[in-house]
Chains A and B, each alone.
Chain A
Amino acid sequence: MLRINCPFCGLRDHHEFTYGGDATVERPALSERSMEAWYQYVFVRTNPAGWMQEYWQHTGGCRAWLVVERNTRTHEIGATHLARDRITEVDRG
């Protein structure tokens, strides 16, 4: 069982969470007209073997979206923080 440390709820089993995939993928600005940029966002993944940043939502708890560092080779879990604290370039405009 993976155990994820939710900043609000504490250490919880991963089946309380819903997986949201690679957290390093950034959605282009809605005004972006380049098909290439959208292709990269929707389909292309780096799929790292090792440490990965990924989204998990605590659907069985506080419902917060988290960014969790996890090792895809060992399932070891590293730092966890709130997704809203991760301000992206697109958010900054």
Chain B
Amino acid sequence: MQAYSAWNLFTHALRGHKQWPEAWRKRAPKSGYDAIIVGGGGHGLATAYYLARNHGIRNVAVLEKGWIGGGNVGRNTTIVRSNYMIGGNTPFYEWSMKLWEGLAHDLNFNVMLSQRGHMILAHSADQLHAFTRKANTMRAHGIDAEILDRDALLREVPYLNDAPDARFRFHGAIVQRRGGTARHDAVAWGYARAADRLGVEIIENCAVEDFIVEGGRIKGVETSQGTIRAERVGLAVAGHSSELGRKLDLELPIESHVLQAFVTEPVKPLVDHVIAFGAELFYLSQSDKGGLVFGGSIDGYNSYAARGNLPIVHNVAELACAVAPCFSRLRLLRHWGGVMDMSMDGSPIISKTPIDNLYFNGGWNYLGFKATPASGWTFAHTIANDAPHELNACYSLDRFRHGVQLDEEGTGPFPRLH
């Protein structure tokens, strides 16, 4: 496997870029591994990479039922940030942010991290006070946070709709300058390639159909490519956790919902930041190609169909125009949906399970992409040590049984409200 470097780029250019080796090898499954990761999305690949890199466990297979990059890792709005307030979330997402900052060098793959700043708009004095509290919490944890007052916000983002008749006028914003976007496909490909270089086998088109459990202990999986045995199995199939959980009689506090994303026709540079509306759930950024990338709420009812419905399309379009009326003449080029694990408290689960040596990673809600590096890091630790890392101890599956949920939004056990 060849490193990506200026010298290699130069020598391959002389050969017309026709001799680059494949980024990761195509594999047929062996009969057994030390560990199997079910799910070749961002989290599964990151887990396999950190198992090999941090824990020296290299005899690992990642089983992906489709192809690498075909799931939610390629369907999100690519936002990375660590502006969370409640205990547990704050240090976890900050560790993820720190890993993002070194990821391109670590993986030898340009993930195009763009720390363009992430801001959430405040539409009332009270909301700005709440954001100030959040900013103070972040700073107390050593995370950068800034409060902009109304004038500073409008100076920095002059196209916001501050007309006297605007429904939601602006009182300021909370800004995390280190937040921004990363190229989601590159994250999947980068982790896949880096894991492959360390000996991890990535097996695509390999659907897990059942599990082998002997004496309360996981022993392997039955797949569309045959039986594969392993001492340890990690599930990282967010969106479809309940379907695999059912085969294991795992009780999961999860519902599957569809979340849509949108991209407009490309325009010249306009939106310099990642901007989140404060009056309703809506967030946008501008891609390197120039399209505005919009995201909103989940559709609000259980769904395994990776396509959304018109009310959210309307809602997102209306919110876009409420933020900046100049968006109103843009045409939406594409919209698509992804199936999300919505957990009962809005926070993820990275945990041991009632079955020995079976580990669970899921329940990512809106949080999955930005969490990819820390999720892989802590899940690998959990699998390697049969015990959680200090950063994911709070994300245990049994927290619901013990009343220690992590409900950042404070909306209660209703997935459609998180």
Contacts and interface: CB of A to CB of B under 8 A. Distances in A.
Nearest to A39: B401
A2 B251 CA distance: 29
Contact of B413 (A2, A43, A54): A43
Interface string B285-318: 0000000000000001111110001110000000
Interface in B264-289: none
Contacts of B255: 21-22, 45, 47
A47 B242 contact: yes
Contacts of A73: 304-305
Given A39-B400, A43-B344, A21 B252 contact: no
B414 interface: yes
Nearest to B344: A43
A49 B239 CA distance: 11
A40 to B, nearest CB: 8
B150 to A, nearest CB: 34
Interface in B376-398: none
B409 interface: no
A14 B314 CA distance: 14
How many chain A residues sit at the interface, stated as a range, is 20 to 34
Given A19-B416, A39-B400, A47 B305 contact: no
B251 A49 contact: no
Contacts of A86: none
A73 B301 CA distance: 12
A49 B304 contact: yes
A59 interface: no
Contacts of B253: 43-45
Residue among B301, B344, B413 facing the most chain A CB atoms (10 A cut-off): B301
Interface string B60-97: 00000000000000000000000000000000000000
A47 B401 contact: no
Contacts of B414: 21
B309 A1 contact: yes
B418 to A, nearest CB: 13
A34 interface: no
A52 B400 contact: no
Interface in A44-59: 44-49, 52, 54
A63 interface: no
Interface residues of B, number: 25
B256 interface: yes
B254 A47 contact: yes
A15 B416 CA distance: 14
B303 A47 contact: no
Contacts of A2: 301, 309
Contacts of A44: 251-253
Contacts of A35: 401
Contact of A72 (B252, B256, B400): B256
B311 A1 contact: yes
B363 to A, nearest CB: 11
A31 interface: no
Contact of A49 (B242, B252, B401): B242
B243 interface: yes
Interface string A54-84: 1000000000000000101111000000000
B305 A42 contact: no
Nearest to B314: A15
A90 B405 CA distance: 28
A36 to B, nearest CB: 8
A72 B300 contact: no
Interface in A20-42: 21-22, 35, 39-40, 42
Contacts of A1: 309-311
19 contacts: A1-B311, A14-B311, A19-B301, A19-B416, A22-B302, A43-B413, A44-B251, A44-B252, A45-B252, A47-B252, A48-B242, A49-B240, A49-B242, A49-B256, A54-B301, A72-B305, A74-B305, A75-B303, A75-B309
Given A15-B311, A54-B301, A75-B303, 15 more contacts: A2-B301, A14-B301, A19-B416, A22-B302, A39-B400, A42-B413, A43-B253, A43-B344, A44-B253, A46-B242, A47-B254, A52-B302, A54-B302, A72-B302, A72-B304
Q: Which 5 A-B pairs have the closest CB atoms?
A: A47-B242, A43-B253, A43-B400, A15-B311, A44-B251
